[in-house]
């Protein structure tokens, strides 16, 4: 290969130099274009997914544990859409690990699990494809979950969750928008 390259470049000297120079220039242009930040905040434009996400709106929900009610937000994903179809829902959630309540459904949810690194109090997630988990403490985790939503202000959540099993009601927020 090296012999062919040297022989070919000797016979077509200028053409090889021009080809190499244009190749380097093309790579430089592609590198600069790829390195640019195309996020909507950086460019001031909206991407197609931004417009789609914004047009779907935010889904608000209420979570009631005992007498304490919490406002929550469902994420915009297939798992949350499937969960919404089961609402309103009142279930028994069991104590697990001293930091979460869980409930195993008989049916499965669509999932897209990833490791969040740190669980935050108020996170609502699916573990595996059947287990709903409501976290009432924050901690680092090695496990993967599918994000479902979160309690907007988890103040008082740990006290409401208590030490044992609890009855939890999930319902869409039907209050008028301001």
Q: Give per-residue pLDDT as tens, 77-93.
A: 999 999 999 999 999 99
**Domain residue limits at 11:** 2-35
- CA–CA separation, 90 vs 144, rounded Å? 25
CB-CB contact of 172 with 59 (8 Å): yes
| Same domain for 84 and 167 | yes
User: 39-65: per-residue pLDDT in tens?
Assistant: 333 333 333 232 233 345 689 999 999
Section 63-75 average pLDDT: 96
136 and 168: one domain? yes
Number of domains in the chain: 2
Q: Does 9 lie in the same domain as 82?
A: no
What are phi and psi for residue 165, nearest 5 degrees?
Answer: -70, 150
23 with 104, same domain: the answer is: no
Q: How large is the C-alpha radius of gyration of the chain?
A: 26
Would residue 111 count as lying in a domain? yes
Q: Give pLDDT tens digits for 131-143.
A: 999 999 999 999 9
The answer on 162 and 85 residing in a single domain is yes
Nearest to 142 by CA among 110, 122, 119, 126: 119
Q: Let me know whether 96 and 162 are in one domain.
A: yes
Q: Tell whether 155 and 75 lie within a shared domain.
A: yes
């Amino acid at each position: 290969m090296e012999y062919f390259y040297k022989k070919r470049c000797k016979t077509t000297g200028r053409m090889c130099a021009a080809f190499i120079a244009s190749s380097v220039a093309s790579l430089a242009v592609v590198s600069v274009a790829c390195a640019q930040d195309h996020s909507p905040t950086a460019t001031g434009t909206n991407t197609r997914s931004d417009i789609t996400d914004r047009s779907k709106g935010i889904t608000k929900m209420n979570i009631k544990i005992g007498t304490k009610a919490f406002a929550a937000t469902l994420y915009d994903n297939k798992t949350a859409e499937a969960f919404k179809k089961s609402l309103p829902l009142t279930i028994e959630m069991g104590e697990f690990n001293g930091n979460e309540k869980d409930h195993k459904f008989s049916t499965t949810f669509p999932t897209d699990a990833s490791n969040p690194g740190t669980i935050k109090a108020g996170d609502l997630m699916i573990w595996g494809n059947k287990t709903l988990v409501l976290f009432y403490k924050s901690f680092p985790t090695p496990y993967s979950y599918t994000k479902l939503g979160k309690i907007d202000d988890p103040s008082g959540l740990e006290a409401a969750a208590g030490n044992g099993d609890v009855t939890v009601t999930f319902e869409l927020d039907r209050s008028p928008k301001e």
